[in-house]
Amino acid sequence: MKKLMLTMLSVVGMMLFVALPAKACTSYYVGKDCTKDGTTMYGRTEDYSPKKDKVYKVIQPKKVGKNATFKDETGATTFQAPIKVETTYRYTICRDSEGAEDGYFGEFGTNTKGVSMSATTSSSVAKTVGKFDPYIDAYESKVGGITEENLTDYVLCQASSAREGVELLADVIDTVGAGEGDGLFIADQNEVWYFEILTGHNYCAIKMPSDKAAIIPNCFVIGDVDLSDKANVVASPNLVKLAKNNGFYVAAQDGKGDINVKLSYSGKGYAAHNADRIRGGQYLLSGQDNTGIYDADYQDPFFTCKNVTVEKMYELAGYRYEGMNFGRNISYRIGSRRTAEAHIFQINSSMPTELATVQWFSMASPDYSTFVPFYGALLTDVSKAYKTEAQQPNSRAAYWIFRNIGYLCEETNDGDGPNRENYGKGVKQFYKAYMTKMEELQKNVNAQMLNVYKNDKKNLEYYATKLGIAIGNETMDFAKAMYMDIQTCKTNGTKYETSSLSADDIEYDLSMVTAPAKKADDTKPVTPAKSSAPARVQVRAKALKGKKVKVSLKKTAEAKGYEIVYSTNVNFTKKTTKKISTKNLTKTIKKLKKKKTYYIKARAYKLDGKTKVYGRWSLIRKVTIKK
């Protein structure tokens, strides 16, 4: 990885942190026979820097014509290679913001053909190997090799299947070369491939098995391969020849294959920081503590496990080895405050291609963030917060909203300390409940979207996009409310508890989406349980001197008025109701009792004739009166 090392910025009210090395990403894979619902899951944490903001956006198709050339449009590298389609495919991508000085670095995405990709876990071959086929420097050479900066964009803009994506990447390494060593995944509805870029012109890719799982940190792990098995292995033409001619060849350990790739190209054993992550991930998913990983010259990367869920994969992405005893300090955990984003792809092979892959991901560290689901193959746009470009802290950007919660819950470089107990424990408790609820709701959403596919397919992209924007916005509402609650607790010197936020408040189904406008020549579109109520209102509440609270609302489209309710009981068994007009969106509640905690919520309404139609209640705000 050629990213520049970054010094950490100071966030207002926060301490400075020291930058750490970039090579701490962790990839993971779970075959469909190992999951509870029979879906395949794979993904990665990008462990690099808590400052390295990310955006999630849609790259629109572009007509490039015949014999077009892909060029790094950021100018960060000199890489260029052929584009084999005349019009590129639309795709979603999570990558660095536009102003990043070292390029885009696309981390994951899905294109309209249902091809998904996760890149990369950086690695490198043994020093004695690299000199025989060095990397083609993409930052200095006139014509550089492909690197993490370009990988995802280059493949997703033109691959129509996972196999084609593997072959595109293989071809470009054969002809142009690679600028670095990497491990990455390319998948579609039917298969997942793991691809290791070893040297400047050598690589190996294998089709992943359905009955195994794997944890892959920053090291090469592909072992014995049979190069004649073309259905399951794609390798560079000189993979064996280079190793044999230069004295680093190691035969397949099973006596059947042509080469053991790991032992040949990266040597014996695993560095401790990589072995720790393999051990930790295997323990969380299987319950087996693989202490032998430290002593092994080589271990097959695959292991068995059962009943893995999305929630479990979310836990894996933020896992800090809770419940394990390593007997020493750990430098690199799977879950880290340095994580810029984490993701999994959940693939259901029984669904249509457009709906088969659900992209779950979190901005910033999933230790204090949450996975959010999107149908990446169908999106034409995303929530504004997720695509907001902001290299500095910004309350409107999804990355920084989640990152700032992390800062409040951390005190040291490794994230330990009193704040992890005082604030972080409540955050993790809420997001665990959030993920349980979201995974269950996704099953219902899949059924709803399948109904749209069967009865109103021309509007499938519309529903997926509007739903993605809605759940993105709702997730931001929860995160903002949480951040303000923690700030209040910090001011009051109290622990953060989630009593003012409940996973039961999650709304996630097609009732969030207004049916598309009907054209004159249209048949009637499918309208999935649409509500005509106004949108959920956003609320802020601040305690004032004199036993008062100032309540502020954000204007809601179509609202004709608002209703505010407050109570000393979170269940609002005894409550007081106040009305507020659209002309003045603030209300000061007076004559409250000191040393009492008040819970406040609001809703908007519009008129259907003379009847008031109310929207959903806002998230609950909690305010304590001190004086």
Which residues lie closer than 8 Å to 142 by C-beta, 6 or more apart? 78
What residues pair up with 252 in beta bridges, in sequence order? none
State the pLDDT at residue 562. 94
- Residue 373: is it exposed, middle or buried by C-beta count within 10 angstroms (0-12/13-18/19+)? buried
Distances in Å between the alpha carbon of 568 and those of 173, 496, 498, 617? 65, 18, 16, 17
CA 171 to the chain's CA centroid:
29
The 10 Å Cβ neighbour count of residue 323 is: 8
Between the CA of residue 465 and those of 360, 447, 610, what are the distances in Å? Answer: 15, 16, 34
Cis peptide before 576 (omega within 30 of 0): no
229 CB contacts (<8 Å, ≥6 apart)? Answer: none
Give me the pLDDT at residue 6, please: 28
Predicted local confidence at residue 3, as pLDDT: 43
User: What residues contact 474, with CB distance under 8 A and at least 6 apart?
Assistant: 506, 507, 508, 512, 536
Q: Where are the domains of the chain?
A: 26-383, 534-627
Cα angle 292-294-300, degrees, rounded to a multiple of 5 = 65
Q: Are 53 and 340 in contact (CB under 8 A)?
A: yes
Place of tokens 């469909």: 32
The rounded distance, in Å, linking the Cα atoms of 325 and 163 is: 41
Determine the topology of domain 26-383 in CATH. Answer: Penicillin V Acylase; Chain A (3.60.60)
What's the pLDDT tens digit per position in 321-359? Answer: 999 999 998 888 999 888 999 999 999 999 999 999 999
List for the chain the helix, strand, coil content (%; round to 5): 25, 25, 50
Burial pattern 434-470, b for ≥16 Cβ within 10 A else e, equals bbebbbebbeebbebbeebbeebeebbbbbbbbbbbb
Which regions in the chain score pLDDT beneath 50? Answer: 1-22, 527-531
CA-to-CA separations, 1 to 26, 122, 126, 374, in angstroms, rounded: 14, 6, 16, 28
E strands, 285-338, where? 302-303
On the question of a common fold for 26-383 and 534-627, the answer reads no
CB count in 10 Å sphere of residue 497 = 15
Buried b (16+ CB within 10 A) or exposed e, 276-293: bbbbbbbbbbbeeebeeb
The pTM score is 0.86
Q: Which CATH class is domain 534-627?
A: mainly beta
Rounded Cα gap, residues 509 and 532, in angstroms: 15
The DSSP secondary-structure symbol of 422 reads I
Tell me which residue has tokens 């996704």.
442
Residue 21's pLDDT is what?
36
